[in-house]
Amino acid sequence: MILNVENLTKQYLQGGTIVKALDDISFNISTGESLSIVGPSGSGKTTLLTLLAGLDKPSEGKIILNKEDLTKLSEKEIIQFRSQNIGIVFQQFHLMPHLTALENVSLPLEIAGKYSLSEIEERAKHYLDLVGLSHRHDHFPNQLSGGECQRVAIARATIMNPKILLADEPSGNLDTKTGIKVMDLLFKMSEDNQSNLILVTHDIRLANRCQRQIHLTGGRLQ
Whole-number pLDDT of residue 194: 87
What is the distance of C-alpha 21 from the center of its chain?
19
Length of the chain: 222
Whole-number pLDDT of residue 111: 84
Buried b (16+ CB within 10 A) or exposed e, 75-109: eeebeebbbebbbbbbbebebeeeebbbbbbbbbb
Structural domain boundaries, residue 203: 3-221
Whole-number pLDDT of residue 13: 85
Q: Give the dihedral sign, CA 90/196/113/67.
A: positive
What is the distance of C-alpha 188 from the center of its chain?
15
**pTM of this structure:** 0.91
CB 128 within 8 A of CB 155: yes
Cα–Cα distance for residue pair 212/37, rounded to 1 Å: 9
Whole-number pLDDT of residue 176: 87
Q: How many CB atoms lie within 10 A of CB 71?
A: 17
When divided into structural domains, the chain yields a total of 1
Cα–Cα distance for residue pair 207/202, rounded to 1 Å: 8
Whole-number pLDDT of residue 101: 97
* pLDDT under 70: residue ranges of the chain: none
Whole-number pLDDT of residue 91: 84
Q: Name the pairing type of β-strands 60-65 and 35-38.
A: unpaired
Cα–Cα distance for residue pair 2/111, rounded to 1 Å: 23
Which of 149, 185, 146 lies closest to 165 in space, CA to CA? 185
**CATH label of the domain that carries residue 135:** 3.40.50.300
